Amino acid sequence: MDTTQLLKGVLDVAVLAVVEDEDGYGYDVLRRLRAGGLAEVGDASVYGTLRRLYAAGALTSYVVPSDEGPHRKYYGITPTGRAQLTTQTKDWETFAETVTALLSDTHAVTQQAQPEGARS
């Protein structure tokens, strides 16, 4: 299955989740997502998502100057972002349960149906 398609749907909530406890800059967020198991997540997707969440008011951003190089842009979660995270987490759980149930039911049905098909 093409997991990149699935990833698109959950990237918002995943990004919100990894900055919930600690602010992070772009590459940092990417690392946390990959460390969390989303190995295939594209860096541009993460940056774009950060930007979109920021534009929507779910994230704040601030710049931290660096002595030895270009400055870093950190993102932190806002109350709006927390609310969105809570809602979307619930949505995801419901959705995941539904799909899991659906898949296992269908699996069971198919298994039951197969002997009948073999008989006829």
- Positions touching another protein (CB under 8 A) are 11, 25-27, 30, 42-49, 51-52, 55, 63, 66, 68-73
Least distance between another protein and beta carbon 83 (Å) = 20
Least distance (Å) between residue 27 CB and another protein: 4
Quick one: 63 or 96, whose CB is closer to another protein? Answer: 63
Shortest Cβ distance from residue 85 to another protein (Å)? 18
How far, in Å, CA of 114 to CA of 51, rounded?
49
Whole-angstrom distance, CA of residue 33 vs CA of residue 46: 9
Question: How does strand 72-77 pair with strand 59-64?
Answer: antiparallel
**Cβ-based nearer residue to another protein, 38 or 73:** 73
Residue with Cβ nearer another protein (10 or 115)? 10
Looking at the Cβ atoms of 71 and 82, the one nearer to another protein is 71
Q: Report, in Å, the least distance between residue 6 CB and another protein.
A: 15
Three-state SS annotation for 45-102: HHHHHHHHHHHCCCEEEEEECCCCCCCEEEEEECHHHHHHHHHHHHHHHHHHHHHHHH
